[in-house]
Amino acid sequence: MKTNELIQLEDQYGAHNYHPLDVVIERGEGVWVWDVEGKKYLDCLSAYSAVNQGHVHPSILEAMTEQAKKITLTSRAFRNDQLPLFYKTLADTTGYEMALPMNSGAEAVETAIKLARKWAYQVKGVPRHEAEIIVCEGNFHGRTITIVTFSSEDLYKQDFGPFTPGFKMVAYGDAKAIEEAITPNTAAVMIEPIQGEGGVLVPPDGYLKTVETICKDNNVLLITDEIQTGLGRTGKMFAAEHEGVRADMTIIGKALSGGFYPVSAVLADTEIMSLFVPGEHGSTFGGNPLGAAVASAALKVLVDEKLIEKANELGEYFMEQLVEIPSPHVKEVRGKGMMIGIELKDTAGGARRFCEALQDRGILCKETHETVIRFAPPLVIDKETIDWTLPQIREVLNME
Ligand SMILES: *Cc1c(COP(=O)(O)O)cnc(C)c1O
């Protein structure tokens, strides 16, 4: 079936909760994807950083198919032979003592919220059901009712209330605002080290470090949502490491499975994680042997192929080159590692038409927040491919 037929079917039978570019992808390999017409594109979105390891990475594929032939799901009512190895790999690669596996990112965020609240009641002594969690304007933590409760994006919440109490919102990048919002009932501050969906917003230098200190001084947990920034994307295992910050809990997802299968996790040390007791929380698929095998392989690829170091070096190169491109439309180029955003001026007429023009030239990007084009290719990209994109991007950024 060709592009138009498939689009027509999708629009007729599927809910319209996305506004995708009209490219119908059939196949992918590394940084490249092919549409149903056989046209080849460079993927500069990486499924919102879920395919840091590149599309259909052969060793993750092998782990997946080998495990799928043995057993896929046991439920946590029984143990399986893959989960312990996944835990050990996670601990070795992230430095956190324990983990709790879930599936989607949003579920892991919900898990972290539960754990922070339990910590507030059991350890900090906050009166039951009065815990507060501080979040930032412009955040993106997922789509559940509780999570959209504390979104500042009208579209994500306007018709979905009533909402969940217990959250306070402060400006992003303003550590003092966090300090002022803390009360004796504050359980945690939850933060993205860089706001991806918010438009690749990089907070001022020293912000996260100051927030960490404020949290420590006030007996408040720091939770970093590294679902998008983590696992190498910004040139470190976790973006918080750029400031030497180690959060009490780190939330990961997306690239944890290299794009094969939804796997997410909350990472914390034993002191906090051991607050969960049997029966309090769970997930039918969370920690299943297929997901565990895939995620172990995906983590191994990050390390073995030095993708984190590569993201750091090539990301810096890519950004330097993008900054050099003269354009009447560009307001700012910003980011860290291989997480780069180009913000356009108000007069540019929105980012979408630039994404469509890039699509014509074989580069797939997605606009975020109308005015930002995000460049976040898989971390397996090489310099030659980056150099190929530059004249294309230059042409597009100089359209009428
Ligand atoms: C994508 C994302 C989520 C939500 O993950 P899902 O798997 O879509 O539920 C949460 N936080 C951040 C920072 C994200 O980028």
225: annotated active-site residue: yes
Task: Given the residues 254, 310, 336, 366, select the one marked as catalytic.
Answer: 254
pLDDT reported for residue 167: 98
The answer to whether the beta carbons of residues 99 and 266 sit under 8 Å apart is: yes
**CATH 3.40.640.10 in the chain, residues?**
58-304
pLDDT reported for residue 291: 98
pLDDT reported for residue 243: 97
Please state, in angstroms and rounded to a whole number, the distance separating the CA atoms of residues 137 and 18. Answer: 23
Burial state string for 152-178 with b = 16 or more CB within 10 A and e = fewer than 16? beeebbeeeeeeeebbbbbebbbbebb
pLDDT reported for residue 369: 85
Task: Given the residues 35, 43, 225, 248, select the one marked as catalytic.
Answer: 225
Q: Which CATH topology does 58-304 take?
A: Aspartate Aminotransferase; domain 2 (3.40.640)
Distance of CA 91 from the midpoint of ligand 1 (Å)? 22
The answer to whether the beta carbons of residues 378 and 51 sit under 8 Å apart is: yes
Grouped pLDDT means (10 residues each) for the chain, 400 residues:
95 96 96 97 97 98 98 97 98 98 98 98 98 98 98 95 98 98 98 97 98 98 98 98 98 98 97 98 97 98 98 98 97 98 94 96 93 97 98 96
**CATH 3.90.1150.10 in the chain, residues?**
3-56+306-397
CATH for the 3-56+306-397 domain, from 3.90.1150.10, 3.30.300.30, 3.40.718.10, 3.30.428.10? 3.90.1150.10
pLDDT reported for residue 1: 79
Model confidence over 184-201: pLDDT tens digits?
A: 999 999 999 999 999 999
Task: Given the residues 35, 43, 86, 140, select the one marked as catalytic.
Answer: 140
pLDDT reported for residue 263: 98
Q: Is the CB of 337 under 6 A from ligand 1?
A: no
Distance of CA 187 from the midpoint of ligand 1 (Å)? 22
88: annotated active-site residue: no
Please state, in angstroms and rounded to a whole number, the distance separating the CA atoms of residues 120 and 353. Answer: 47
Q: What number of CA atoms fall less than 13 Å from residue 139's CA on the CB side? A: 30
Residue 365: exposed, middle, or buried by beta-carbon count in 10 A (0-12, 13-18, 19+)?
buried
Give which of 319, 314, 306, 336 is closest to 385, Cα–Cα: 314
Distance of CA 257 from the midpoint of ligand 1 (Å)? 14
Please state, in angstroms and rounded to a whole number, the distance separating the CA atoms of residues 189 and 226. Answer: 14
The model's pTM: 0.98
Secondary structure percentages of the chain, helix, strand, coil, to 5:
40, 20, 40
Q: Is the CB of 235 under 6 A from ligand 1?
A: no
Distance of CA 127 from the midpoint of ligand 1 (Å)? 30
Amino acid symbol at 398: N
